[in-house]
Structure 1
């Protein structure tokens, strides 16, 4: 087992740690925010359990805040945001799979333990004492019942209990302990050059594009690209809508009757009066109320089926009859429709040619840099030629899960561990997704604050890390045996 775990240890999987390494109620550390419950439907189905789009959006917001702190407040581009969204959904799916697996093994969390955990949460306390009104307000802001929230706590405690049980049976080998001690006692600072599709300015001139397309072979290449990537040049039907929501308790028929009466009273006014003003006055959707019920543009699969079916049947300007969903009663007004569009080749051939030429130039730059590094030649002339500049990560511990401004991936950590002397450059261009990097060690020094740690402390942390990695691997195995369905509308198939 240790051979496998040691290999996985090199991955520095912060995602696994966030899921399995500790109780995952990160609102305690990163705050919490309300979310729009009507951005509804499902994000994923995991065997017998549904993960809602609302849960997914909230997880994405929490993870974005977490990464923002890791990357020191840097703004994220579309590519990074897409990766964070996928990570957020992966976390929710993995957490659910492992919690189900633990329950199937017979592990239980007593109700009293769940209650004690909630009572001890600082968010729900004033001067060290539990405040039920704080707890109730928190649940209301999250549009959750106490039972739903306590089920989340139960899952987290279940995973935490399983992690501790597995950690008891794992003893890290001495070489790993010594390596960890060495890593934790050193700080590094890197200089790096980033070459990515979004940041490397290699857009060809109009003359270059025209000349390139004049070649029949190049024109054929563009045509092939178009045929193989048609979704890139098309857009789905979208509508822009507002809504008014009146909520009710699904387990209380009287609550539902009251809500039905209220929505029926509002409906005639919604047809003839200012819908935006009525939404601000009556809607109980805290996520869109202040915006007059505005839900923006959305496509198929983004809302719950009952809501979506009615919304897409309306013409711009039309107001629906009351619609019942799991969130309450809605009145919907469609303001605009964007039909699905598919571009023809002639409309996009210039754009395709620009993309192919830019990518060709970027590959040439990477090949030139790799050739220079392989021959131990200076890369400075090439960097100057192509307008590329060194950036600095700032100091970080060698045992860090993330390297500032660069992230976390296997080849990155392997490169960092191999650099020993200031100004030493790693002899290969390394790759992470769509970005390539040249790395240079700026400085390496002892972290005096962490140099005096005991072996026992390190062994304990390593056992927990191995336990986390074991659960991650176990969760992956359970996922292959179970049934996981991701909503295709999220674009993460």
Structure 2
């Protein structure tokens, strides 16, 4: 959670901890069926249930986290919804197992630590200060109470601490480091010849009988794609916002409600005299009372601070602490300082540091912007809030109406003032424009409920605060294509297949001759092919085909005078005969960033160790996963 807010996820934490501070998402389907489904257990961990509602919420949050991380590069159609749902459930199961183990081990997190974490989230700040009102409002938009959020945050902190504690025990040995560097920085001298498949395309022949036989044996490959045209209703926050009006009176009232926040953060400058309590706090209190009386009688606070204060950081400066805001000091000190007028001296104040006398030397209250300065901003904010509330309300009505009248969109369109729209033809691979590019829409369109039963879909979020409900307007099943329509495709496929077989046969023959002792360069030349040499090739070599590099580093060291030879394929599928002439291990003495490599090895061991702990705990737990509708 907090890693996503701070964008600093590490290792397993990045996928174990479920993000909740992203974009508000309205949950629809409030009808009775959905309510029953929400309480169905999708898994149990030691008897404790994980419900459908919990899984759905976590899934949406994971999806929103992906969207926030990828930004403009996020493409919904590339997400495998069922796979993401299954992964989310596994993460929830692991979290339950870990949290139970931590509770049994009596792991705890201090309230002060949780409070500090919350105050560290910029999303809860307003006008330069932490805003309790914004905190509550933001959580409410996520359908969370402060108690729920703080409990989840407490779990996140415990999990981080547990992971750090386990991972910190891992280390790498010098021998392991040296072995790693020898292999990682290893260089190889290689040679290779590419056998182009295209060389044989014009040499092979395809007969009509071969085409006919291929067509009969592979008829399933030569069919029209099943396709549908969809009718749909679309609801977006932008559509709703256009109908939201905000009066001048409402904007002014909004300003008055928040006037105190607009003034910025009040700050105070103060000095203090600190007396350490030691074993006799009463003595420090008595001394503080005496010093206060002397100050009230006219003695200079700063001079007494220089003489008596036991705070080494401020005593010589006359006790000056500079300027501070609420939350910068310990609670007792803060309460006293912000209750004083300028120049006033406090009663003795006890904190964990000792006994303080405090004098406020200045109070800074920034000027609040006028109503006129903030009017447009406040109007937009108020309009946005009202639009979000209306969007949720209309979204729930859309879900209910399209569920209650499952065989039409017309009634919902009429009651909500929406327009029934239609897509072009869509196959199971999706379409070229609009909602047809969204994988979730395609999955819904070809689902049993929508395609076979003819029902409306559930609301589908295609973007944050933009949903659609779809139904099938027209359906064309898959049908076999006549042979004449696909003859050219089959000829090309068979020609390519035969060319690949010829190229591979030639490469295999070249390999066998090289293995028999012939010079592979001379073998290649005899076949009219070039033999490319590359020296000092590394594992990340850019100038050699990647498949060749990978295969080269799997071959054994060459014997004296004879290269190790093998066959592989280039990235485009062309066969390649290659040989390794020399292997030079990495020089440990010359390896840069030695500490970084050792840290990386230790981190890898730490991750493995932690995964082993997790798997051990899961093996000891009683975990039951129940079949989910999406997986059937």
Tell me the TM-score normalised to structure 2 length.
0.41
